[in-house]
Amino acid sequence: MRTTSIIAKYLTDLGYQVLTGPDVCAADARMGLPSEEMLESHYQRALSQGAIPEYAAPARGGFTGVIGTLHLGAGPVIALRFDIDALPIKEDESADHLPYKEGFSSQNLGFMHACGHDGHTAVGLTVARILSERKEMFSGTVRLIFQPAEEGVRGARSVAEHGHLNDVDYLIGSHIFPYSTPGEQIGVSVGPTLATTKLNVTFSGLSSHAALPEKGHNAMLAMASAILNLHAIPRHSDGPSQINVGTAHAGSGRNVICDHAELELEVRGCSTEVNHYMEHMPHKFFRLLLPCTPAPARSRPLDPLHLS
Ligand SMILES: [Zn+2]
Q: What is the spatial distance between Cα 1 and Cα 22, in angstroms, rounded to a whole number? A: 13
Q: What's the 272 CA to ligand 1 centre distance in angstroms?
A: 19
Q: What's the 179 CA to ligand 1 centre distance in angstroms?
A: 15
Query: Starting from the edge strand earliest in sequence, which strands make up the sheet with 195-204, in order?
Result: 241-250, 260-269, 195-204, 305-307, 292-293
The string over 142-153, giving b where at least 16 C-beta atoms fall within 10 Å of a residue's C-beta and e elsewhere, is bbbbbbbbbbbb
Q: What's the 207 CA to ligand 1 centre distance in angstroms?
A: 39
Q: What's the 148 CA to ligand 1 centre distance in angstroms?
A: 11
- Using 50, 70 and 90 to split pLDDT, how confident is the model at 42? very high
Q: Residue 302: pLDDT above 70?
A: no
- Using 50, 70 and 90 to split pLDDT, how confident is the model at 285? low
- What percentage of the chain carries pLDDT values higher than 70? 92
Neighbours of 31 (CB within 10 A): 17
- Using 50, 70 and 90 to split pLDDT, how confident is the model at 306? very low
- Using 50, 70 and 90 to split pLDDT, how confident is the model at 183? confident
Distances (CA, A) of 198 to 151, 262, 299: 11, 14, 11
Tell me which residue of 139, 165, 136, 150 sits closest to 67, measured CA to CA: 165
Q: What is the spatial distance between Cα 170 and Cα 9, in angstroms, rounded to a whole number? A: 26
Q: What's the 256 CA to ligand 1 centre distance in angstroms?
A: 39
What's the confidence (pLDDT) of residue 154?
87
Query: What's the pLDDT tens digit per position in 81-134?
Result: 999 999 999 999 999 999 999 999 999 999 999 988 999 999 999 999 999 999
Distance of alpha carbon 159 from its chain centroid, rounded?
14
Question: What's the whole-number mean pLDDT along residues 270-295?
Answer: 72
Query: What's the pLDDT tens digit per position in 48-86?
Result: 999 999 999 999 999 999 999 999 999 999 999 999 999
3-state DSSP call for residue 141?
strand
The structure's pTM equals 0.80
Q: DSSP string covering 50-77, please?
A: T--HHHHGGGTTT---EEEEEEESSS-E
Query: What's the pLDDT tens digit per position in 234-251?
Result: 999 999 999 999 999 999
Q: What is the spatial distance between Cα 308 and Cα 233, in angstroms, rounded to a whole number? A: 22
Q: What's the 150 CA to ligand 1 centre distance in angstroms?
A: 6
Q: What's the 94 CA to ligand 1 centre distance in angstroms?
A: 23
Distance of alpha carbon 73 from its chain centroid, rounded?
34
Q: What's the 118 CA to ligand 1 centre distance in angstroms?
A: 10
CB 265 within 8 A of CB 243: yes
Ion ligand 1 — residues with CB under 5 Å?
115
CB 49 within 8 A of CB 1: no
Residue type, 168: V
Q: Residue 151: pLDDT above 50?
A: yes
Q: What is the spatial distance between Cα 81 and Cα 302, in angstroms, rounded to a whole number? A: 23
Q: What's the 132 CA to ligand 1 centre distance in angstroms?
A: 26
Q: What's the 274 CA to ligand 1 centre distance in angstroms?
A: 21
Query: What's the pLDDT tens digit per position in 246-268?
Result: 999 999 999 999 999 999 999 99
What's the confidence (pLDDT) of residue 305?
44
